[in-house]
Amino acid sequence: MNLDPRLLDIVRCPDCRGLLAPAAEELVCQGCGLAYPVRDDIPVLLVDEARQSRG
């Protein structure tokens, strides 16, 4: 995954507005724990495409 660090400074979880952290091939919300896929270096920030990463 090759995301611009400036992008990570501005994108937020569409569900809870939490910060997103890179993990493997996805971005994981530090607030609600939803993991959003990254496909071809493009974050797919759709709640319907996310999975629960914890709990």
Specify the pTM. 0.88
Query: What pLDDT shows up at residue 32?
Result: 95
Check residue 17 and give its pLDDT.
97
Instruction: For residue 48, give Cα distances in angstroms to 15, 24, 28, 36.
Output: 10, 20, 14, 9
Q: What is the pLDDT along the chain (55 residues), one digit of tens a residue?
A: 889 889 989 999 999 999 999 998 999 999 999 999 999 999 999 999 999 986 4
Domains and their CATH numbers in the chain: 5-52 (2.20.25.10)
